[in-house]
Amino acid sequence: MQVSLDGCARVALRGRLDAQTVVVCWNLLEQKLRTSKINVLELDASSLQFCDGAGLALLRYLNMGKMTPSANVSVLGLELELEKLFLGFTSGDYEAFRSTAPVQRHSLPEEVGESVSHTAADLREQVAFLGEIMANLPPTMLDRKRMRWPEVRRIFELAGANAVPIVSLISVLGGIIIAFESAQPLAQFGAQIYVTNMIGLVMVRELGPLLAAILLAGRSGSAFAAEIGTMKVNEELNALETLGLDPIRFLVVQRITAGIFLTPLLTFYATFMGVAGGVLVTLGLGFPLTLIYHQLVSSVHLSDVALGMAKGVVFGAIVSAVGCLRGLQTQQGPSAVGISTTRAVVTSILLIVIADAMFSIIFFSLIK
Amino acid sequence: MSDAPQIAITVRNLKIGYGTKVILQNVSFQVRHGEVFVILGGSGCGKSTLLKNLIGLYAPIEGEVWIEDGNFLAAKDEERLRFLRKFGVMYQSGALFGSMTVLENVRLALDEFTALPEPVKELVALAKLKLVGLGAAAQKLPSELSGGMQKRAAIARAMALDPRILFLDEPSAGLDPVTAAGLDLLIRELAHHFGITFVIVTHELASIYKIADRVIMLDSRTRTIIAEGKPAELREHAADPWVRRFFNREADSAEAAQPK
């Protein structure tokens, strides 16, 4: 490459102009062209042996006057084929690209407004979905052919039976942790035996249902969203629709039914394992089993167990319904299913906690 | 460019399959530079599987694939990377990265493998997009494009580093005749003006006649190549009646459909 600079500049290009040599040329030209005042620039490409896309891009860049803003730049001597390729992308095309500005950023109030309207729309959708479920659940459940009980069984196994190991582990450990943590402060008052009462109440009324529901949300709510979301992306939901099958009736009702039936069972199991963990600790502290049993029976009433089971039913309905809703709301694109599963878990846990708070308030005012 | 090898791809005695199931065997052929080479065959005969073996996604049971003068399938690490940069691939569905704009899709290889200055990279990518007729769609996301546009964008992405060989899997499947003809024209132009070698898997007869310099035909009964040559010759003179029927677009007659 030779550069001779006078009033008008002329750059003679020789040899290969490819992705490697363009980098070298670029640095050289940057040094020489940017620093001098040039009115006319001629690029002589007649001795080029090879020129690829990167080389042509460099020529076009120079030709657009990007390095020499005030100069009139011409490219001479390009081979016929290269000339054709060179003219295939003009400065006009580049300007056209520049004018298609990327998505504009919104101002803060706009963002806030948009997010509020999104949340409102989402709430509206949730209410509409709830209505649709309410309208579809009883008639479908009574219609044996439509209900597809084998599907309910499959989900029952997948979301319920297969969750038993992890629920066992977490509940037992939860019980053990709470028992140990509370044993020490209670010992200061000589009230260690009340660890049993506390474990009983806490597990039956609160932690059993919560643990079961949160595990269900993480394991199965997300799975529902992913499954239905993938079906939506693959147009399987459209296929159902045009076959005259309502996705709510065909997919959602089964999952919610399974959720409503399996969560109380899972809750009962989680509660039992949690209490067992606590009992283990109190046994280790030296209390006899009969005493522990009496403490448990005297502190936990049937109403507490009923409350726990009722929570299980509600939480199960929430988790499975939210999982299905988020699946149905899946958009297009590769990240859509991932977004749906995340939203399913987050919304499920949020609604579970809200429902739990409402349970507490209602129960408190009932007893008063 | 005269010092470049004349033979782009050499396939020797390839035997491919899944596990112990053999799909194709005794597959040998050569592809010359600047040629549009078409791999043909009925549905389910293993065309796409053969392509995936050629580009190194699947390992064949036995046999070799040479690209120019190196054994591609035996290459490892850095050497394999050098081979991979000699060719580009367009997948049947386009396989554009959905989280990036079309321009970013095309730029990806330039960003990863070259030290080019930013504006040059942008211009290269834009020029490729213009070449495939997608200049106006640069800022769009793949999901905003039609099927034909996605395929063209995928060709632009495959061409980003100016490879000398392009593999296309079913380029015109699912396109309307006008778009498909446009794609044929593009392939023809790239092959003839810029010396790009094409290896194309397809069964679109109309485009085979327009673009193919040479075809090989795979057969699911014998599990190997049953015909090789120019499409017009095969239509008239192929030894195998099934090949002639394929090129003349005739249905299997009742007699031929009977098991022998």
A209-233, pLDDT tens digit by residue?
999 999 999 999 999 999 999 999 8
Mean pLDDT of A252-278: 95
Nearest to B130 among A19, A93, A332 (CB): A93
Hey, are the CB atoms on A54 and B143 less than 8 Å from each other? no
Hey, are the CB atoms on B116 and A61 less than 8 Å from each other? no
Query: pLDDT at position A208, please?
Result: 95
Nearest to A80, CA basis, from A57, A58, A51: A51
| Residue percentage of chain A with pLDDT more than 70 | 97
Element (H, E) at A19: helix A19-35
Longest alpha-carbon distance in chain B: 65
Nearest to A159, CA basis, from A108, A225, A73: A225
Mean pLDDT of A301-306: 92
**CB of B141 less than 8 A from some CB of A:** yes
Residue B191 near residue B34, CB atoms below 8 Å: yes
**CB of A22 less than 8 A from some CB of B:** yes
Closest-CA distance of chain B to residue A221, Å:
25
Range with the poorest average pLDDT among B50-59, B122-131, B229-238 = B229-238
B260 falls in which pLDDT band (50, 70, 90)? Answer: very low
Hey, are the CB atoms on B193 and A84 less than 8 Å from each other? yes
Hey, are the CB atoms on B131 and A102 less than 8 Å from each other? no
pLDDT per residue over A113-171, tens digit each?
999 999 999 999 999 999 999 998 888 888 888 888 899 999 999 999 999 999 999 99
Stated pTM of the model: 0.73
Q: Please provide the DSSP assignment of A258-287 as one string.
A: HHHHHHHHHHHHHHHHHHHHHHHHHHHHT-
Hey, are the CB atoms on B120 and A97 less than 8 Å from each other? no
Q: Which residue is closest to B138 within chain A, CA to CA?
A: A97
Q: Which residue is closest to B116 within chain A, CA to CA?
A: A23
Hey, are the CB atoms on B131 and A88 less than 8 Å from each other? yes
pLDDT per residue over A57-116, tens digit each?
888 888 888 888 778 888 888 888 788 888 888 888 888 888 776 666 778 999 999 999
Mean pLDDT of B85-105: 88
Query: pLDDT at position A75, please?
Result: 86
Query: pLDDT at position A1, please?
Result: 47
Q: For chains A and B, what is the number of CB pairs under 8 angstroms?
A: 85
Q: Which residue is closest to A21 within chain B, CA to CA?
A: B116
For residue A282, how many other CB atoms are within 10 A of its CB? 23
Task: Name the average pLDDT for chain A.
Answer: 89
What tokens appear for B163 in the block? 């490879």
Which one-letter DSSP state was computed for residue A161? G
B252 falls in which pLDDT band (50, 70, 90)? Answer: low
- CB contacts, 8 Å: A66 with chain B: 119
- CB contacts, 8 Å: A61 with chain B: 119-120, 123
